[in-house]
Amino acid sequence: MGKKRVLCCYGVDIDAVSGWLGSYGGADSVNDISRGLFAGHVGVPRMLKMFDKYQIKATWFVPGHSLETFPEECAVIRDKGHEFGLHGYSHENPADMTLEQQRDVLDKTFRLITEFCGKPPKGSVAPWWETSVEGTEMLLSYGIEYDHSMSHHDCKAYWLRTGDSWKKIDYSKRAKEWMEPLIRGKEIGLVEIPGNWYIDDLPPMMFIKNNPDSYGWANPRDIEDIWRDHFDYFYREYDEFIFPITCHPDVSGRPHVLLMHERLIEHINKHEGVEWVTMGELSDDFKKKNPPPPGALMPTSTEEVLKRLNINLS
């Protein structure tokens, strides 16, 4: 076993009310909206207290709706030195939006976070983890340096590849018309910090009435076993790896899940070579060691983006 270097990070998606508006089917439910308010007013402070306890700086992906609905809670996140990233406005599914709608959402949320934090965001999480060639090119045009939405790997950052194409099965046609392999697209200059549905608190522990598979009462100790097994396997098999955790104050702000996080953090911290970093720091670390693909489309410089958008931060 070689010397270990493990970069662990928390990505916290403040879906809150926006999650019910854009994704979970609760836009007409007063009760579901109240659960979104719990996430912002109660869940966020509880998670901040936990991060303080373990001296962890997290990356918070904040929908524009959450930033404007919970400005006081978001100000505490900012003032404690955590990182902010993009996460849509009302947790809209990019696959359901026109390019104009995607552009309008990106422009508004980029401006909101930049002006709120006094600096532009470096990273983005696509709601629903759904991206496209056009969507990623838009991110690059706004100077975004990393994404946390795709799953080509689970413990290594990589340069994102877009434009893969594949044949869907059409049973009304002859089989030879769909029997073709996937064709890979091109790598771009966007660092991918992989998302992982198996290290995400929301799918197993969020009760969603309109989703028959989401009953929300999974024992967090079962989820803890899955997350810990991921970490332990990576630690056994790799000398260097990353461990990105995706969570939401909607779920991880609940007592039973907070205690799970505490047990997991304490387990991870028993291992040599562990560092807790933001996703921005993880992206910077990757770029130092991995030159961009030749000819790749790269992020527009911060100076050029701010000038184009007429944003003055001085």
Domain boundaries, the chain: 5-309
CATH class, 5-309 region:
alpha beta
| pLDDT higher than threshold 80 for residue 158 | yes
* pLDDT for the residue 94: 87
pLDDT digits (tens, 9 = 90+) for 6-39: 999 999 999 999 999 998 888 889 999 999 999 9
Instruction: Give the dihedral of Cα atoms 4, 57, 245, 99; nearest 10 deg.
Output: -120
159 confidence band (pLDDT: 50, 70, 90) = very high
State the average pLDDT for the chain. 95
Q: CA distances (Å), 264 to each of 16, 68, 134, in order?
A: 24, 32, 38
Give the CB-side neighbour count of residue 35, counting CA atoms within 13 A: 21
H or E segment at 33? Answer: helix 30-38
* pLDDT for the residue 101: 94
Which residue in 58, 63, 59 sits closest to 19, CA to CA?
63
* pLDDT for the residue 128: 84
pLDDT digits (tens, 9 = 90+) for 61-76: 999 999 999 999 999 9
* pLDDT for the residue 14: 98
156 confidence band (pLDDT: 50, 70, 90) = very high
pLDDT digits (tens, 9 = 90+) for 262-275: 999 999 999 999 99
Contacts of 109 (CB under 8 A, 6+ apart): 63, 64, 67, 86, 87, 88, 89
183: left (phi over 0), alpha (psi -120 to 50) or beta: beta
314 confidence band (pLDDT: 50, 70, 90) = confident
User: For residue 108, which amino acid is it?
Assistant: K
Per the DSSP assignment, residues forming a β-bridge with 246 are: 11, 200
1 confidence band (pLDDT: 50, 70, 90) = low
Are the C-beta atoms of 183 and 165 separated by less than 8 Å?
Answer: yes
pLDDT digits (tens, 9 = 90+) for 118-143: 999 999 999 988 888 889 999 999 99
Q: What angle do CA 225, 211, 88 make, to 5 degrees?
A: 85
H or E segment at 305? Answer: helix 302-308
> Where does residue 25 rank: exposed (0-12), middle (13-18), buried (19+ CB within 10 A)?
middle
